[in-house]
């Protein structure tokens, strides 16, 4: 299936203040792959994710999502294909109740009320949060907020799921639940994180970004066990691989 491909070709991006965030960045992710994006603070991970559905447009090079070439005209289509989960769930859950928030996407797709309800139910069941349906987001714990934020994106039924630090602010049990949940998704997944154990668990492939360009790209098994490479990039071995 060619339509779940994510392809970055020589992408450059410069913020209006002159900071060069991405520089000749290229990679290609095929259908169903789960890829971890890792790198030091400020290496360009978040900027990269913001390109995935056209919030930022590359200043050089091209981004292709499936058969679509990212332009201002196609980005509305692309946003239906790529669901992005942000680092801070408070930014993502902007509606006053959980139901309204999860329903926001499907309602914008122009679905009728009954289908919207089905989608909301399915999405909340997926993350085991159906009981929270009538709660306002400010009554939820951080773990519940993250789960609902994922449900809100899943309700759009995206082909590709992109996440920025999904496990930040989660307690160990919520984090474990999230990892198990992510493993059940068959979407193409792109996860940017400093949580190397999470990446090691969920992603088969791993890309290291350094100063806006790809520093290494390969199976997680190779990259996350390469101590020298990781330390060059302000990272360290995943805790589960460290011997004490």
User: What is the binding site for other proteins (CB under 8 A)?
Assistant: 50, 53, 55, 76, 79-80, 83-84, 86, 88, 90-97, 99-100, 103-105, 107-109, 113, 116, 134-139, 152-153, 156
Residue 53: CB minimum distance to other proteins, A: 6
Residue 78 or 199: which CB sits closer to other proteins?
78
Residue 182: CB minimum distance to other proteins, A: 19
Residue 187: CB minimum distance to other proteins, A: 15
- 217 Cβ contact partners less than 8 Å away, ≥ 6 residues apart: 27, 205, 206, 207, 208
Return the structure tokens found at 83: 């669901």
Collapsed DSSP state (helix, strand, coil) of residue 9: strand
Residue 243: CB minimum distance to other proteins, A: 39
Q: Is residue 22 a contact partner of residue 44, using CB atoms and an 8 Å limit?
A: yes
Residue 156 or 235: which CB sits closer to other proteins?
156
Query: 188-192 and 6-14 as β-strands: parallel, antiparallel, unpaired?
Result: unpaired
Collapsed DSSP state (helix, strand, coil) of residue 166: coil
Give the E-state strand segments of the chain in sequence order.
6-14, 20-29, 34-39, 60-65, 68-69, 82-85, 160-164, 188-192, 205-210, 213-219
Residue 44 or 158: which CB sits closer to other proteins?
158
Q: Which residue has the tokens 């294909």?
A: 81
User: Nearest-5° angle of CA 83, CA 193, CA 50?
Assistant: 40
Residue 56 or 208: which CB sits closer to other proteins?
56
- 1 Cβ contact partners less than 8 Å away, ≥ 6 residues apart: 31
Return the structure tokens found at 137: 């987001």
Residue 189: CB minimum distance to other proteins, A: 16
Distance CA 29, CA 95 (A): 33
209: left (phi over 0), alpha (psi -120 to 50) or beta: beta
Residue 84: CB minimum distance to other proteins, A: 5
Residue 224: CB minimum distance to other proteins, A: 29
């Amino acid at each position: 299936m060619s339509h779940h491909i994510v392809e970055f070709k020589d992408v450059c991006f410069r913020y209006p203040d002159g900071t060069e965030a991405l520089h000749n960045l290229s990679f290609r992710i095929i259908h169903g792959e789960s890829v971890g994006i890792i790198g030091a603070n400020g290496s360009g991970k978040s900027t990269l994710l913001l390109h995935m559905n056209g919030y930022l447009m590359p200043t050089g090079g091209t981004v292709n999502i499936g058969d679509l070439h990212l332009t201002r005209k196609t980005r509305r289509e692309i946003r239906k294909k790529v669901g992005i989960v942000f680092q801070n769930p408070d930014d993502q859950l902007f509606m006053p109740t959980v139901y309204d928030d999860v329903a926001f996407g499907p309602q914008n797709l122009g679905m009728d009320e009954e289908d919207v309800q089905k989608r909301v139910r399915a999405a909340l069941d997926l993350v085991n949060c159906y009981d929270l349906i009538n709660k306002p987001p400010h009554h939820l714990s951080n773990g519940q907020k993250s789960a609902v934020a994922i449900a809100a994106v899943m309700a759009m039924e995206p082909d590709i799921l992109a996440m920025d630090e999904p496990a930040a602010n989660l307690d160990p049990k919520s984090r474990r639940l999230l990892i198990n949940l992510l493993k059940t998704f068959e979407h193409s997944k792109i996860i940017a994180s400093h949580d190397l154990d999470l990446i090691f668990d969920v992603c088969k492939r791993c890309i290291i970004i350094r100063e806006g360009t790809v520093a290494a790209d390969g199976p997680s098994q190779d990259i996350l066990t390469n101590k020298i490479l990781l330390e060059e990039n302000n990272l360290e071995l995943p805790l589960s691989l460290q011997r004490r």
